[in-house]
Structure 1
């Protein structure tokens, strides 16, 4: 009987690889919670409360960055390393990590592991899995080491930190940045480095690269090694959409941040024009997925918080370390709207016609995300007295796994923190699970019902 039950569970997870991904993330969060409760993980040697440990572990594994305790003050070096390990595992992808280890140890992958790895990395087919796994590992290692080394050198020779301290801080912030986690070793994030372009720019570059998604990074690397295949026309539509939309959102975010906060003495107003542009760009890059901040978040205008919610909800690229509904989802919806306004029967973008099921999936993901954020915001408003705009900002930040906060996270009651934990988990895994489930459920209908058009608008 036990053998039958085991085979039954294996069949369920093999048929729905996304379930395996969700279960693996939940298991790692549970293990991380237990580890963070150990006395050795706290700075004063005490046992961290289960809720604080669960919130921190979820935020780290889901690469969000929201915290209820100060990372540098509450956690010991061992605790910080635990958080860093959870960030790396969560950002890299738990099933991707497991598949890579199996590939390195045995040199082969079983079908079930190939399916789960393909679901998490958005591989085009099972034949791609081995190449994708090695490519993801290579991209991660190269970017994190390069940015970590650059930051370490800057901290050593620009701020006179010891070699060990500079290396530790540089590597920590590099891993946190590339995985779009937003965890920092300072209570003020990186506001102390707001005027140092040699700190803010490398972190922004790491965040942007991680937010593009591994499929885009791997395609860019492949085409870089093929001299004959250069230019946008030879890239896949996914890559082109991701790059163009990311660039557009970065520009729009920078312009709006500078326009709205240019004269605010508590944010950009204290900088010269060059530093204003740099910090505006940095804020634009962070607000879509990362969570580092170089300006006081609590001093932002309500208008800035509102458009930031839009950027956080959109997020970054698919199959990467970013959250949100993803830039391709946003692009597909924008293309559908443009086609409808023009009266065209098909949605087209960059010389390609979009498949109807892609439009349905994009609409489903976006509407469910909106509904989830609204429901969570209403629930949070019933348990906290914080301003509505701050609560909405917190909810969108958790769903988009961004990690930016106006400073109310630690003051939210227990019920509210549990809501945020659930939002972070769904925000990290919801799009993967939902789209995979929709794809598996897709089937051809052998008949068509009579057509009728209800009144719209």
Structure 2
């Protein structure tokens, strides 16, 4: 009896500890989903670093250096596409499979992933998690006050939104893979090889990552405009964001029923897409190393493709390092803006740019409020947009200074690659592959901070929001 009792007590102790751990995780997922999401991303990066460090993951059967494995894991989970090694030749089929799984996990988004984990663990989605998930479709993703339901998905629809995220990812990637498969065969790829390269390219397009499974990347398909158009379509769908996909799915032919967020995202995205293409066409028309040797129609299409990839796509037909300095500046600006909120794209988001542009326009017109499409944008949304831009610019500036000091490379190249990392784009002048280990770690931190989002990072670091029950006297400093 004493022996059985002694055995029962350790079992009860283990059960109690397991229950305590379970309760701790459930509490974190429901009361602080933003912080929990950061922890989840860090854990995933460590797991994939260990997996990519395995000898079986490398093509030569040797263990990958820690700095390269860590950077690839960060770039994979954060769906960036930058790499210090050649993905196509360095990693084996097993390693590429790890990367394929990683980009799909990362593509779900940091807040969406946290909400799904909270739903699975706690068997329900808590109110605060619902608010976080719903506000991820809103420019004010950390909005503390009551949210205008006209600007986002209603709380009762959050579960449907999460289902839409998973289903849209599967359906869109499957459709893209089916369309890409014939082009791979025409391009000379073996049918069996194309059978896994097509889903790989589809995932890299929709998640806006930009890794290529074959040596030389998509340069072999530079003249296959159908192949490039499919990639652009995948990048566009991934960059507009899941809430916009959800809105289009429900009201594709009824624009009046679109949310304000969907309208702003679509208009700003399309405008930047064509504006970027025009800018690249004008700036590169006399560059023989890029568009100078092409006719008008070919150069126009390649400019459209390059503009689409700066939205966070990461694929490149031309050598980005051969672009004029003026084109690198335009590309940096487009990358810094990025795609839509709650999307696989990075950057400060097009809604942030639109809100600030509308605020400037309203100020110039002398209006007391910012209004668009019959709706008023509250002042707290404007403050969040301004904070996102300021925080993003600070991160990029600090990273550029540090990496420039470490590498002693041209500042223009450093700035381009840093913004590409922060905005999780994946385009590179060639600098990233030449960085030393300290520079690699700095770039990895930049990518991580850019992917989880400046607002999410601030919300995760902040202890708790305190309400202020008093108001200080007003005094206006001189501005401008």
Aligned equivalent of 1:109, options 101, 104, 124: 124
Aligned equivalent of 1:345, options 365, 368, 375: 368
Equivalent residue, structure 1, for 2:189: 161
Aligned equivalent of 1:212, options 240, 244, 252: 240
Equivalences for 1:130-141 in 2 at 5 Å? 130-141=159-170
SS of the residue 1:353 aligns to: strand
Equivalent residue, structure 2, for 1:257: 280
- Deviation of 1:162 after TM superposition, in Å, equals 2.2
Tell me the distance in 1 between the aligned counterparts of 2:266 and 2:242.
Answer: 12
Equivalences for 1:50-449 in 2 at 5 Å? 50-93=66-109, 96=112, 108-111=123-126, 114-115=129-130, 118=133, 122=137, 124-156=153-185, 158-224=186-252, 230-431=253-454, 433-434=456-457, 445-449=468-472
Tell me the distance in 1 between the aligned counterparts of 2:207 and 2:53.
Answer: 24
Tell me the distance in 1 between the aligned counterparts of 2:67 and 2:134.
Answer: 31
Tell me the distance in 2 between the aligned counterparts of 1:312 and 1:400.
Answer: 6
SS of the residue 1:128 aligns to: helix
Is residue 177–residue 290 contact of structure 1 (8 Å, CA) maintained in 2? yes
Is residue 190–residue 293 contact of structure 1 (8 Å, CA) maintained in 2? yes
Equivalences for 1:22-41 in 2 at 5 Å? 22-41=38-57
- Flag the 1:438–1:247 CA change in 2: closer, same or farther, 3 A: farther
State the Cα deviation string for residues 187-208 of structure 1 (Å, max 9, x = none).
4331222221111100001001
- Flag the 1:305–1:323 CA change in 2: closer, same or farther, 3 A: same
Equivalent residue, structure 2, for 1:18: 34
- Flag the 1:420–1:267 CA change in 2: closer, same or farther, 3 A: same
Tell me the distance in 1 between the aligned counterparts of 2:354 and 2:125.
Answer: 35
- Deviation of 1:353 after TM superposition, in Å, equals 1.3
State the Cα deviation string for residues 78-123 of structure 1 (Å, max 9, x = none).
00010111001000236645765897x8995353895497269547
Tell me the distance in 2 between the aligned counterparts of 1:170 and 1:309.
Answer: 29
- Deviation of 1:160 after TM superposition, in Å, equals 3.4
SS of the residue 2:312 aligns to: coil
Is residue 29–residue 118 contact of structure 2 (8 Å, CA) maintained in 1? no
- Flag the 1:412–1:354 CA change in 2: closer, same or farther, 3 A: same
Tell me the distance in 2 between the aligned counterparts of 1:133 and 1:68.
Answer: 34
Unaligned runs of 5+ in 1: 225-229
Which structure's CA Rg is the greater one? 2
Aligned residues: 450
Tell me the distance in 2 between the aligned counterparts of 1:116 and 1:311.
Answer: 30
